[in-house]
Amino acid sequence: MTTGYAGTRSDRIGERLFNLVITHVPSHTLRQAWLRRFGATIGQGSSIMMRTTVFGARRLVIGNDVSIGSSVLLDARGGILVENDAVIASDVHLITGDHDPDSPDFGTRYGPVAIGHHAWIASRATVLRDVTIGAGGVVGAASLVRKDVGPLQIVAGVPAAVVGRRNSDLTYSAHFRPILT
């Protein structure tokens, strides 16, 4: 069990201001500059749409040309890595922490989430701690992912199960940065 992620007082204030104010400002540049100021690593050409919530910015690593939709929850307290050209659609939750139900003090556990290059997480999906989505993997809408997804696998459902295999050469760019979003 990994023990608590607290961050510094400055981190917590910066995170709170981001989630209450900055995430509602229609400027990719401002949102990303704010997250970088508080420790996030964000590659060139990536977009983070409005109303995205971030916890643990210092443990958030986003590659180049990544597209993150609106109203996404990025709980990076256990670490989130999103590789180049991945797409995370709107309303997705990446959750790296939970509580140990057997702990006498309701202790927290943290573990990383890794999203491979050219992976696609469809709307309203949830990916839990200690999960890797392989290169080109696809998670269907409204799915709950508790186990690793292999490269090019397509999973869907609650809990997510393999429903197919992607046929792609993974050479496209996921760059998407609309104005005022």
What number is the average pLDDT over the span 151-164? 98
The most confident of the ranges 8-22, 95-109, 150-164 is 150-164
- pLDDT of 1 above 50: no
Dihedral sign for Cα atoms in the order 90, 78, 19, 107: positive
Per-residue pLDDT at 179:
81
Banded model confidence at residue 74, pLDDT cuts 50, 70, 90: very high
Is the model's pLDDT at 4 over the cut of 90? no
> 134 near 150, Cβ under 8 Å?
yes
Confidence grade of residue 177 (pLDDT, cut at 50, 70, 90): confident
User: What mean pLDDT do residues 56-66 have?
Assistant: 97
Tokens matching residue 113 = 């989430």
pLDDT at 181: 77
| Proportion of the chain above pLDDT 70, given as a percent | 97
Read off the pLDDT of residues 101-112 as tens digits, 9 standing for 90 and up: 999 999 999 999
Average pLDDT, stretch 91-104?
95
Judge whether residue 142 has pLDDT over 60.
Answer: yes
Enclosing H/E stretch for 35: helix 28-37
Q: What is the pTM of this model?
A: 0.94
CA distance 59 to 8: 13
HSE-CB of 19 using CA atoms within 13 angstroms: 15
**Alpha carbon 153 to its chain's center:** 19
Residue burial 13-51, b: 16+ Cβ < 10 Å; e: rest: ebbeebeeebbeeeebeebbebbeebbbebbebbbbbbe
| CA-wise closest residue to 52 among 101, 2, 14, 93 | 93
